[in-house]
């Protein structure tokens, strides 16, 4: 064998060893059985966005609606609010033990005394409408807050419109 042949043979063996070292090793064969699969996980319940108890104050506020609005210096129930008050009356008929208080509110314009009187007229207008729909007057109280409890404090028409309102609040007999 010539020197060249030996060198070539040595180079081939070296290359084979190097390439063999670069190839992935075969994984050792595992003779133990795989673990038993974990019991199927129960899917998490869908997030409940609301657990509203029927007949509760929250049920009334969320599912029926509690607020009607009034025009500037007005206390008559507007046509577009009669449907909401009708739903309130139906809900109250379904839950005859529930008592409510109608709050009358005004915007910031006018004197304190004037707005207390206007708020009282607004609360009474809502009460009278509910009574006309079959709700017992004994179940409905009224209170006027005038301009003392605004929900918006900016001095502009968009804010004043929100503050001219009648709010029916469940005050007794409802489920917690």
Digit-coded pLDDT (tens) for 19-52: 555 545 554 455 555 565 555 555 555 544 568 8
Mean per-residue pLDDT of the chain: 83
User: Which residue, 111, 98, 120, is CA-closest to 169?
Assistant: 98
Tell me what pLDDT residue 51 has: 87
86, 133 contact by CB (below 8 A)? yes
How many domains, the chain? Answer: 1
> Domain holding 104: CATH number?
3.30.1330.60
| 29 within some domain | no
Which structural domain range is residue 97 located in? 57-172
Cα–Cα distance measured from residue 154 to residue 158, given in angstroms and rounded to the nearest whole number:
8
| 4 within some domain | no
pTM above 0.85, yes or no: no
| 1 within some domain | no
33 or 61, which is more confident: 61
Tell me what pLDDT residue 7 has: 54
């Amino acid at each position: 064998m010539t020197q060249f042949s030996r060198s070539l043979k040595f180079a081939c063996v070296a290359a084979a060893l190097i390439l063999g070292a670069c190839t992935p090793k075969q994984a050792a064969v595992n003779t133990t059985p795989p673990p038993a699969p974990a019991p199927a996980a129960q899917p998490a319940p869908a997030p409940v966005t609301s657990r509203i108890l029927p007949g509760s104050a929250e049920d009334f506020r969320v599912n029926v609606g509690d607020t009607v609005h009034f025009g500037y210096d007005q206390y008559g129930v507007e046509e577009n609010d009669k449907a909401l008050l009708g739903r309130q009356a139906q809900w109250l008929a379904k839950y005859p033990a529930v008592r409510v208080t109608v709050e009358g509110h005004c915007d910031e314009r006018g004197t304190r005394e004037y707005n207390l009187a206007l708020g009282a007229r607004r609360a009474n207008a809502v009460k009278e409408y509910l009574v006309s729909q079959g709700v017992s007057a004994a179940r409905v109280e009224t209170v006027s807050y005038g301009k003392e409890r605004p929900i918006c404090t900016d001095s502009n028409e968009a804010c004043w419109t929100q503050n001219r309102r009648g709010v029916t609040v469940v005050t007794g007999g409802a489920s917690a």
